[in-house]
């Protein structure tokens, strides 16, 4: 009788553990690393390491980044950027991107945004030639 109870106990424990470990708390769905029509050659850093909150994963750390690019200093170009992301602002600096005199340096931040979509949309603009990461020193 005792052997039956022990066998039943271990069998029940085995089934319970199998059920427990077969459950998944996270959905594993395929995520595109880069949106379609993205001109990645204009983006001078990797998009694949960004998560949905706009955080860049590097060396087991996740941080937002700042980025910069030059656009013509015209109301039309500024309005177009504002339509894409109103938090991207013009600066008075030429930045590391070294904007020409008739261009303005725009600076944005990745935090809390669908940064892949924003950067890819910016990359599709003819007047944006490159998008660089800002390294504050």
User: Model confidence over 2-28: pLDDT tens digits?
Assistant: 666 677 666 666 665 565 566 554 443
Helices and strands in the chain: count of H runs, count of E runs: 3, 6
- DSSP three-state, residue 70: strand
Whole-angstrom Cα distance, residue 77 to residue 106? 11
Domains of the chain: 28-134 (3.30.70.260)
* pTM attached to this predicted model: 0.74
Closest C-alpha among 99, 34, 105, 40 to residue 67: 105
Tens digit of pLDDT per residue, the chain (137 long)?
Answer: 566 667 766 666 666 556 556 655 444 333 457 778 899 999 999 999 999 999 999 988 999 999 999 999 999 999 999 999 999 999 998 888 889 999 999 999 999 999 999 999 999 999 999 999 999 87
Whole-angstrom Cα distance, residue 102 to residue 99? 8
Give how far Cα 126 sits from Cα of 23, 28, 72, 81, 123, Å. 48, 36, 11, 12, 8
């Amino acid at each position: 009788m005792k052997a039956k109870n022990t066998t039943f106990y271990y069998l029940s424990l085995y089934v319970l553990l199998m059920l427990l470990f077969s459950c998944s708390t996270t959905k594993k769905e395929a995520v595109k690393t880069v949106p379609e029509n993205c001109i990645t050659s204009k983006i001078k850093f990797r998009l694949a390491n960004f998560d949905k909150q706009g955080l860049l994963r590097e060396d087991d750390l996740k941080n937002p980044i700042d980025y910069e690019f030059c656009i013509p200093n015209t109301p039309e170009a500024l309005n177009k950027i504002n339509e894409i992301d109103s938090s991207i602002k013009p600066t008075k600096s030429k930045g590391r991107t070294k904007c020409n005199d008739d261009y303005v340096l725009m600076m944005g931040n990745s935090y809390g945004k669908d940064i892949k979509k924003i950067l890819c949309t910016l990359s599709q603009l003819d007047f944006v030639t490159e998008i660089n990461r800002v390294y504050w020193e």
